[in-house]
Amino acid sequence: MLGYWRYAISVLVLALGLSAYAQGASSSWVTQVPGLMVAMSDRASRSESVRPPAGATTPAAVIERVQWQYQHAPGAALQAWLCHPERCVSLSGMRGETRALSGISATTPLHFQFALNPGQRPVSVKGLQMIVDYQ
99-119: pLDDT as tens digits: 999 999 999 999 999 999 888
Q: Where are the domains of the chain?
A: 26-134
In DSSP terms, which residues pair with 107 in a beta bridge? none
- Give the architecture-level CATH label for domain 26-134: Sandwich (2.60)
d(CA 54, CA 58): 10
Sequence-distant (≥ 6) Cβ neighbours of residue 64 within 8 angstroms: 26, 99, 102, 133, 134, 135
Q: Model confidence over 72-95: pLDDT tens digits? A: 999 898 999 999 998 999 999 999
Q: Are strands 95-98 and 63-71 parallel, antiparallel or unpaired?
A: antiparallel
What DSSP designation does 130 have? E
Radius of gyration of the chain (CA): 21
